Amino acid sequence: MFNNEGIVFSAAHSSQSAEKALIERILVEPFFRKDTTIHRKIALYPHANIKDKNLIISDVVSGLFEDGGMVETFRAFDYFLAISGKRGHFIHQFEVFILGMNIILKLKDIGHDLKDIFGFDDIDKIIYCWLIVATAHDLGYPLESLDDILDTISKLYGSIGFPQLEEKFKQLEIGNLIKGNADFESIFVDSAPGTPNTGKIEIGKLIHDEIIQSLYLLPGEEDKVKELQLRLLNKPSHAYASSVLLSKAIIESLLRGKSVDEVRQLWKFAAVKRAAAAIALHGLKSDDKPEKDYTYYIKKISFNKNPYAYLLFIIDNMQDWGRTLYIKKDKLWPEYILDSFQFISANDMLLDYHVVHDTWEEGIFEDVEKYLREKEEMLNMAIKPSFKLRIEIQLDFTTNLGRKFKPIKLSL
């Protein structure tokens, strides 16, 4: 296991006051009070520095679900992503989790039957499913970014006068491990040796079948899901890789001492299937270039069919404003910081973002406004609940010069 306690991996993108508001409701939910240590660490989160936030997240998430060491390993990989010029994802996943928890718990507080919405018979199971969805949705980035990491290491060796090592790492550019890799798609998970009814679970088929259950498809459109899977493999997609990694890790833990038939009856197996589809779908984007455009599939993501997929799609996009690295400021794009979070009435959620840039030179305001309008359009593409949840979401944006952008609005 890596010892990275002294390394900063990724930045937080919320102010302390916003973090306090986001965890306030979470702290009183019984699910988070079962383990006193975990409860105290969540309470400490808004007051911790960046390094300690990373450690708190690792301890909390690892303590709440059987991650097989994935969380701590991903925390270590986030360092390599950072030095390769990639955005940090470790804290981002936790920020997605706590924002989504506030929506789920608000639905509970205003009297909705969560079983009817989320499909499990108790709130703890619903929270568990959202936990694995939100805190594992970017686990595949190290696979997607492998060549970039190797390229960075190559250049670093070259910069200090080791041309042979520079060339050696350059030659290691093996192509993304996901791209066109049929073995990756067809990962099997065996049942434990010696258990009755020994069998195998094919992860690729599990994800395919659950995506079908998560999209609003018309008769004859099921073949489009296989086409989507192939595109995500060949793109390549960190989202699809994350889906496979999470599914494999949790199903392997469930199979210890149990047969495949027994595992298929467990509620956690149902949760993994819901999560696998949600994660595989979350990275879809609209784009002017046909090879990068997934608008058709975004418009098929359905709250009614898979609320976890819908929530991850909108919340990940709500927390994805050109995030900058903690160790390397991005001069081209402003930094977006969630400055405050509140319910301004019983059901109206307001997120106020502070948008910071050093110069705000000509054209940046216009570029940001265009970006926000495109983001609002994409957020409203997915299919909303067929019944009114009575939650209104508004995202406000104010620059460090005091100028405001038109807000983004979303009704659920």
| pLDDT for 3 | 40
| Mean predicted confidence (pLDDT) in 224-235 | 88
Q: For residue 54, what are the CA distances in angstroms to 8, 80, 95, 149, 269?
A: 8, 15, 12, 21, 28
Query: Could you tell me if 281 and 297 are in contact, meaning their C-beta atoms sit under 8 angstroms apart?
Result: yes
Assess if residue 217 is contained within a domain: yes
CA–CA separation, 327 vs 56, rounded Å? 20
| Mean predicted confidence (pLDDT) in 311-315 | 96
Assess if residue 294 is contained within a domain: yes
Lowest-confidence range among 51-55, 109-113, 123-127? Answer: 51-55
Phi, psi angles (nearest 5°) of residue 395: -115, 115
Using the predicted structure, report yes or no on whether residue 115 has a pLDDT greater than 70. yes
Domain that holds residue 275: 178-308
CA–CA separation, 61 vs 127, rounded Å? 12
Assess if residue 233 is contained within a domain: yes
| Mean predicted confidence (pLDDT) in 361-374 | 87
CA–CA separation, 175 vs 180, rounded Å? 10
| pLDDT for 327 | 38
| pLDDT for 252 | 87
Assess if residue 182 is contained within a domain: yes
Using left for φ > 0, alpha for ψ between -120 and 50, and beta otherwise, residue 197 falls in: left
Instruction: Give all strands (DSSP E) within 191-318, no chain letters.
Output: 200-202
| Mean predicted confidence (pLDDT) in 214-238 | 89
CA–CA separation, 307 vs 313, rounded Å? 10
CA–CA separation, 230 vs 191, rounded Å? 27
pLDDT in tens, 84-99: 666 667 888 899 999 9
Assess if residue 258 is contained within a domain: yes
Assess if residue 192 is contained within a domain: yes
Query: Could you tell me if 369 and 411 are in contact, meaning their C-beta atoms sit under 8 angstroms apart?
Result: no
Percent of the chain with pLDDT over 70: 85
Tokens (6 digits) for 209: 């079948």
Using the predicted structure, report yes or no on whether residue 116 has a pLDDT greater than 90. yes
CA–CA separation, 256 vs 192, rounded Å? 6
Q: Which residues contact 367 (CB under 8 A, 6 or more apart)?
A: none
Total number of domains constituting the chain: 1
Q: For residue 235, what are the CA distances in angstroms to 181, 218, 238, 283?
A: 11, 25, 9, 11
Cis amide linkage into residue 219, ω under 30° from 0: no
Assess if residue 220 is contained within a domain: yes
Mean pLDDT of the chain: 85
| Mean predicted confidence (pLDDT) in 43-47 | 96
Phi, psi angles (nearest 5°) of residue 302: -120, 125
pLDDT in tens, 202-219: 999 999 999 999 999 999
Percent of the chain with pLDDT over 90: 51
The model's confidence at residue 8, banded by pLDDT at 50, 70 and 90, is very low
State the first-to-last Cα distance of the chain, in angstroms, to the nearest integer: 43
Using the predicted structure, report yes or no on whether residue 21 has a pLDDT greater than 90. yes
**What is the dihedral sign for C-alpha 105, 109, 115, 118?**
negative
The model's confidence at residue 185, banded by pLDDT at 50, 70 and 90, is low
Using the predicted structure, report yes or no on whether residue 7 has a pLDDT greater than 50. no
Query: Could you tell me if 380 and 336 are in contact, meaning their C-beta atoms sit under 8 angstroms apart?
Result: no
pLDDT in tens, 140-158: 777 777 777 777 778 888 8
